[in-house]
Amino acid sequence: MLDFPDRLDAAVRRCQNPVLVGLDPRSEMLPEGMLPDRADPTPAEIAAAFGEFCRGVIDVVAPLVPAVKPQAAFFEEIGPSGMAVLAETIAYATDKGLLVILDAKRNDIGSTAAAYARGMLGPGQSVWGADAMTVSPYLGDDSLRPFVEVASQRAAGVFVLVKTSNPGGGMLQDLIADGRPLYRHVARYVEGLAVETAGACGYGSVGAVVGATYPDQLAELRSEMPQTWFLVPGFGAQGGTAGDVAGAFDEQGTGAIVNSSRGIIFAHSQAQYADRFGSSRWQEAVEAATQAMIERLRSETPAGRLGG
């Protein structure tokens, strides 16, 4: 199996776009008819609906995009049945040829970090089978090294939170330490790990989560982290635009994947798609929203060069 950065590079080039579809199922936003018609569906019924919904999204986007990103929290919220459906969703996406980045934002020290990594990383090599996962950096080097080691052994990847898209992220990430914002210290460390784990494409197995909602910092970090894959959240529902994410890419139009969750998977409830498709044709709305995002990124960012 190729190293993760090379598999991601190949998938982005094959699809000629960097779109990452977030799988964030929410019971109140599912298409009509997926949940029982009563006010109190059981966790098992919600889990079954989540599984049906995620499979439906995957069926639509698998021919179009390189990867999906299940958000573990929405599955964990409904307990054991939800966790079982998360595992089934990861396996289903893998079978459809998609790379799977598990958005779990885990971390701890020593043996606990290693257990998280062993359990989640590696298709066919772990119980969860994710190609990559998100982790928090704020416990330091000894909390990240176990993830890097397992990822390297299993041709998997790790995306470290560097500059997140949420409004409150700056409370800690922008604090000045030794004359530089804290997120830039994290960025320097992550770039070092990327260099250590670089694949044939030049990018490493260790990537960075850098939000679309801070375009100036995104461009700044691209220049400081030339061998780090970027996972860019915040596009669409959180306010990020194609223009905002343009600075995430290298000159060839690669080096970044851009996530959209609600803007794609719940497109049937958005004004521009509701009248055209409605809830009964929700998968067509997913396809239309995915294609619209692909076209925006191709026309307004260096990702348009992927098709050249």
pLDDT band at 308 (very low <50, low <70, confident <90, very high): low
In a domain? residue 145: yes
How far apart CA 64 and CA 157 sit, in angstroms, is 22
Per-residue pLDDT at 304 exceeds 90: yes
Query: What's the pLDDT at 240?
Result: 83
In a domain? residue 194: yes
Dump pLDDT digits (tens) for 103-132: 999 999 989 999 999 999 999 999 999 999
What's the mean per-residue pLDDT of the chain?
Answer: 95
* Interacting residues of 29 by C-beta distance below 8 A, sequence separation 6+: 262, 266, 269
Dump pLDDT digits (tens) for 188-197: 999 999 999 9
In a domain? residue 103: yes
Place of tokens 């030049």: 202
Of the residues 69, 96, 105, 163, only one is catalytic, namely: 105
Dump pLDDT digits (tens) for 60-77: 999 999 999 999 999 999
In a domain? residue 297: yes
In a domain? residue 272: yes
Q: Which domain holds residue 259?
A: 4-302
pTM: 0.96
Q: How many domains does the structure of the chain reveal?
A: 1
Query: What average pLDDT score do residues 25-44 get?
Result: 93
In a domain? residue 221: yes
Dump pLDDT digits (tens) for 196-255: 999 999 999 999 999 988 899 999 999 999 999 999 998 877 778 999 999 999 999 999
Told to judge if 96 belongs to the known catalytic residues of this protein, a careful annotator would answer no
Q: What is the CATH classification number for the domain harbouring 150?
A: 3.20.20.70
Q: Are 105 and 159 in contact (CB under 8 A)?
A: no
Query: What's the pLDDT at 226?
Result: 98
252-261 core/surface letters (b: 16 or more CB in 10 A; e: else): ebbbbbbbbb
Dump pLDDT digits (tens) for 248-303: 999 999 999 999 999 999 999 999 999 999 899 999 999 999 999 999 999 999 99
Torsion-angle region of residue 42: left (phi > 0), alpha (psi -120 to 50) or beta?
beta
In a domain? residue 308: no
Query: What's the pLDDT at 48?
Result: 97
In a domain? residue 307: no
